[in-house]
Structure 1
Amino acid sequence: MNTDDHTATAEHQELTDAVLAARLATGAGDLLVRVRAELGFDDPAVLRDAGDARSQEWLAGALARHRRHDAVLSEEAVDDPARLTARRVWIIDPLDGTREFGEQGRLDWAVHVALWEDGDLVVGAVALPAQGVTLATGAPLPDRPTPVGGPRLVASRTRAPAVVGAVAAALGGSVVPVGSAGAKVAAVVRGDADAYLHAGGQYEWDSAAPVAVARAAGLHASRLDGSPLVYNRPDPLLPDLLVCRPDLAGPILALIRDP
Structure 2
Amino acid sequence: MPATDLPLLIDAALEAGKIATRYSGTTAQRWDKPGGAGPVTEADLAVNAMLEQKLPAARPGYGWLSEETEDSQARLTKDRVFIIDPIDGTRSFAEGSRTWAHSLAVTEGQEVTAAVIYLPRRDLLFAAAKGQGATLNGTAIRVSGIDDLNSAEVLAARPNMDASHWRNGTIPGFQRNYRPSLAYRMATVAQGRFDGMLTLRPSWEWDIAAGDLIIREAGGVCSDRMGGPLRFNNPHPRLNGVVAAGAALHSRITNMLEPESTGPWS
TM-score (norm 1): 0.83
1:214/1:243 contact within 8 Å kept: yes
Per the alignment, in what secondary structure is the counterpart of residue 228 of structure 1? coil
Q: What is residue 202 of structure 2 aligned with on the other side? A: 201
54-63 or 20-29, larger mean C-alpha shift = 20-29
Q: Summarize the alignment of residues 214-253 of structure 1 with structure 2, pairs less than 5 Å apart.
A: 214-253=215-254
Q: Paired residue for 1:57, among 46, 49, 60?
A: 49
Query: By how many angstroms is 1:94 displaced?
Result: 0.6
**Given the superposition, is the C-alpha separation of residues 146 and 107 from structure 1 closer, same or farther in structure 2, using an over 3 Å criterion?**
farther
Per the alignment, in what secondary structure is the counterpart of residue 254 of structure 1? helix
1:113 equivalenced with 2:104 (yes/no): yes
1:82 equivalenced with 2:84 (yes/no): no
Q: Unaligned 5+ residue runs, structure 2? A: 32-38, 262-266
Q: Summarize the alignment of residues 112-191 of structure 1 with structure 2, pairs less than 5 Å apart.
A: 112-138=103-129, 140=135, 141-144=140-143, 147=146, 150-156=151-157, 160=160, 162=162, 170-191=171-192
Query: Which residue identity is paired with 1:41?
Result: T
Distance 1:93 1:76 in 2: 8
**Given the superposition, is the C-alpha separation of residues 95 and 218 from structure 1 closer, same or farther in structure 2, using an over 3 Å criterion?**
same
169-178 or 107-116, larger mean C-alpha shift = 169-178
Q: What is residue 87 of structure 2 aligned with on the other side? A: 95
Query: By how many angstroms is 1:155 displaced?
Result: 2.1
Q: Deviations over 1:167-198 (max 9, x none)?
A: 9x854321111101111111111222111111
134-143 or 234-243, larger mean C-alpha shift = 134-143
Distance 1:254 1:160 in 2: 15
Query: Which residue identity is paired with 2:94?
Result: G
Aligned residues, how many?
240
Query: Which residue identity is paired with 1:142?
Result: I
Distance 1:179 1:226 in 2: 24
Query: Which residue identity is paired with 2:7?
Result: V
Q: Deviations over 1:223-254 (max 9, x none)?
A: 11111111111111214111112120111111
- Say which structure is richer in helix: 1
Query: Which residue identity is paired with 1:151?
Result: A
Per the alignment, in what secondary structure is the counterpart of residue 104 of structure 2? strand
Q: Deviations over 1:91-111 (max 9, x none)?
A: 11111110001112x222111
TM-score (norm 2): 0.81
Q: Deviations over 1:98-130 (max 9, x none)?
A: 0001112x2221111111112311111111121
Distance 2:165 2:113 in 1: 33
Identity over aligned residues, as a percent? 28
Q: Unaligned 5+ residue runs, structure 1? A: 1-14
1:16 equivalenced with 2:16 (yes/no): no
Per the alignment, in what secondary structure is the counterpart of residue 178 of structure 2? strand
Query: By how many angstroms is 1:162 displaced?
Result: 2.7
Query: Which residue identity is paired with 2:108?
Result: E
Q: What is residue 10 of structure 1 aligned with on the other side? A: none
Query: By how many angstroms is 1:44 displaced?
Result: 6.5
Distance 2:246 2:110 in 1: 25
Larger Rg: 1
2:154/2:197 contact within 8 Å kept: yes
Cα-Cα RMSD? 2.8
Q: What is residue 45 of structure 1 aligned with on the other side? A: 30
